[in-house]
């Protein structure tokens, strides 16, 4: 499904984004839904990163693409949250879904990010999470459970998302 979604998005990105982006945070089915474990290469292919590498931390897994307007706003926002909370056991894994890496590199030149930028052009990882639109982020607790799902991104929701992450990081 994600493979088809990504191909259609390249042809009709505006319509796709308008149709798929949900502007509110949605909760996971239950707090006991385990996050799918994945291992992906970083964007430059220099190494692989696994969700399991961050066991015991709160992790924000963010699926994005360079052509996605709301993604371009959410990544700089979450960079700021990570800067504030990284020493308290919070990490971000951004999974880029562009088929080609050049557009992602262009975005990252304009908006440098300090967290791992992973690459999954095949769409297997978002399929395992049940991704329905972009951007979509999964907030994962220290036990590896999906705490919440955020579909779409609106600047007006940023402080609510920050507060949710801060509260989860504060639980030890």
State how far the Cα of 35 lies from the Cα of 52, in Å rounded to an integer.
10
- pLDDT at position 17: 35
- pLDDT at position 121: 76
> Mean pLDDT for each 10-residue chunk of the chain (172 residues)?
47 34 36 86 94 97 95 95 97 95 94 95 90 94 96 94 97 82
Q: 43-52 long-range contacts, Cβ below 8 Å, gap at least 24? A: 43/96, 43/101, 43/104, 43/105, 43/108, 43/117, 43/118, 43/119, 44/101, 45/119, 49/93, 49/116, 49/118, 51/93, 51/140, 51/144
| CA–CA distances in Å: residue 65 to residues 56, 130, 168 | 28, 17, 27
| CA–CA distances in Å: residue 60 to residues 86, 94, 148, 164 | 11, 8, 10, 11
- pLDDT at position 122: 82
- pLDDT at position 116: 97
Task: Please name the residue ranges forming H helices in 21-55.
Answer: none
Q: Are 65 and 97 in contact (CB under 8 A)?
A: yes
- pLDDT at position 172: 74
CATH number of 2-170: 3.40.30.10
State how far the Cα of 114 lies from the Cα of 97, in Å rounded to an integer.
18
- pLDDT at position 5: 47
């Amino acid at each position: 499904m994600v493979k088809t979604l990504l191909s259609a998005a390249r042809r009709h990105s505006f319509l796709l984004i308008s149709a798929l982006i949900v502007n509110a945070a949605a909760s996971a089915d239950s707090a006991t839904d385990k996050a799918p474990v994945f291992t992906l290469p970083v964007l430059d292919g220099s190494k692989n990163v696994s969700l399991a590498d961050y066991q015991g931390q709160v992790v924000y897994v963010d699926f994005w693409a360079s052509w996605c307007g709301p993604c371009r706003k959410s990544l700089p926002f979450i960079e700021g949250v990570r800067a504030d909370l990284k020493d308290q056991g919070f990490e971000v894994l951004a999974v880029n879904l562009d088929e080609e890496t050049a557009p992602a590199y262009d975005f990252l030149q304009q908006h440098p990010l300090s967290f791992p930028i992973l690459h999954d052009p095949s769409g297997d990882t978002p399929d395992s999470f049940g991704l329905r639109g972009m951007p979509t982020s999964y907030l994962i607790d220290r036990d590896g459970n999906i705490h919440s799902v955020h579909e779409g991104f609106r600047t007006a929701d940023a402080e609510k998302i920050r507060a949710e992450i801060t509260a989860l990081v504060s639980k030890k």
